[in-house]
């Protein structure tokens, strides 16, 4: 049973296909001296990938990792497009049944995979950069909740038991307005298995951004999530740190210390290991790699031998 498995702790997003990501996970396990236990993947509904790589995800599980699929109702945007301006993927369109066949096809495919999978649909809904966010496309928080429950109802019809549903807001609401607060999007205890937060230290890489500690980024969101539910496990669904504006190695050291001392409900942490808006990667500098290697094991030891939380 899924609930009998030991909880994962360390995860990575590597911008590769399933098989390349598996090889990357092995390389990072060797580099860090700590096993990568979650491999994160992103799939857009409009990407044309209507079918899962069933054999690939099965192999991920066979090698001792758990896949986490961030499931995004949008079309990968062109560089000059505004990704939030995709009315075909508004919440109202999903609720009208426009994507029912697609959702059912995923449910059928996922049911063929024998092992746990984290499924993280419609993440960062309290931002303003995706077409499912509550402040774009005429969406509303209550409509987001309805859409989440609607998607889950289709999966329940398929009688899938191995999925671990992850609800994952951004650590800070954007815009920071009363009708966009994190708690307004919570689908309910019976609809969610794990709670998650995404957050980044952008340093001085963007206009107006400043260096922020792990605690400064996640404290408010963590308090909100632990108030919403007092028992569910939490994860950091995405995290990264820039190099510009401070000492990334020191930031990583303090982040793992904070995880152990101030964020006891966080049981897993997925590093966004990509050179994208800036170089988020672990290997962006020698001091970054050194800090990971020296601090990750102490945190994972504190987190060991806890059970994987999942609804039945």
Q: Could you give the 3-state DSSP secondary structure of residue 187?
A: coil
CATH number at residue 156: 3.20.20.80
0.75 exceeded by the pTM? yes
Residue 310 forms part of a structural domain? no
Residue-wise pLDDT for 153-206, tens only, equals 999 999 998 999 999 999 999 999 999 999 999 999 999 999 999 999 999 988
Does residue 69 lie within any of the structural domains? yes
Contacts of 79 (CB under 8 A, 6+ apart): none
SS3 at position 267: strand
298 part of a folded domain: yes
Neighbouring C-beta atoms of residue 231, cutoff 10 Å = 8
The pLDDT tens digits of the residues spanning 31-60 come to 998 899 999 999 999 865 566 789 999 999
Which residue, among 214, 208, 204, 276, has the nearest Cα to 239 in the 3D structure? 214
Q: What total number of domains does the chain contain? A: 1
Question: 196 lies in which domain range?
Answer: 2-302
pLDDT tens-digit profile of 109-137?
Answer: 999 999 999 999 999 999 999 999 999 99
Helix/strand/coil for 95: helix
- 309 lies in a domain? no
Between the alpha carbon of residue 182 and those of residues 30, 147, 241, 271, 293, the distances in Å are 38, 16, 23, 22, 33
Of 218, 249, 247, whose CA–CA distance to 234 is shortest? 218
Cis peptide before 140 (omega within 30 of 0): no
Contact 137, 91 (CB under 8 A): yes
Average pLDDT value for residue range 236-252? 97
Asked whether residue 307 is domain-assigned, the answer is: no
Q: Does 29 map to a domain?
A: yes
Phi/psi at 6 (5° precision): -70, 140
Q: Is residue 47 part of a domain?
A: yes
Q: Establish if 311 belongs to a structural domain.
A: no
């Amino acid at each position: 049973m899924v609930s009998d498995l030991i909880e994962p702790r360390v995860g990575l997003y590597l911008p590769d296909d399933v098989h390349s990501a598996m090889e990357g996970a092995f390389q990072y396990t060797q580099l860090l001296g700590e096993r990568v236990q979650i491999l994160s993947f992103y799939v857009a509904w409009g990407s044309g990938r209507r079918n899962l790589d069933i054999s690939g995800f099965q192999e991920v599980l066979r090698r001792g990792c758990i896949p986490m699929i961030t499931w995004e109702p949008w079309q990968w945007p062109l560089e000059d497009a505004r990704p939030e301006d995709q009315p075909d993927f508004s919440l109202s369109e999903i609720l009208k049944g426009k994507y029912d066949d697609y959702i059912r096809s995923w449910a059928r495919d996922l049911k063929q995979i024998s092992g746990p999978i984290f499924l993280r649909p419609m993440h960062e809904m309290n931002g303003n950069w995706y077409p499912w966010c509550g402040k774009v496309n005429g969406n509303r928080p209550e409509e987001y909740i309805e859409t989440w429950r609607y998607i889950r109802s289709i999966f329940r019809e398929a009688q899938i038991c191995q999925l671990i549903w992850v609800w994952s807001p951004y650590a800070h609401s954007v815009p920071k307005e009363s009708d966009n607060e994190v708690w307004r999007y919570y689908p309910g205890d019976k609809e969610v298995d794990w709670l998650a937060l995404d957050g980044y230290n952008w340093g001085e890489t963007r206009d107006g951004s400043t260096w922020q500690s792990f605690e400064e980024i996640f404290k408010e969101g963590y308090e909100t999530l632990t108030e919403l539910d007092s028992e569910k496990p939490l994860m950091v669904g995405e995290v990264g740190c820039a190099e510009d504006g401070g000492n990334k190695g020191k930031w990583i050291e303090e982040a793992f210390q904070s995880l152990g001392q101030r964020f006891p409900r966080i049981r897993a942490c997925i590093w966004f290991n990509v050179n994208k808006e800036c170089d988020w990667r672990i290997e962006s500098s020698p001091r970054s790699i050194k800090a990971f290697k020296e601090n990750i094991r102490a945190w994972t030891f504190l987190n060991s031998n806890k059970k994987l939380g999942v609804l039945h």
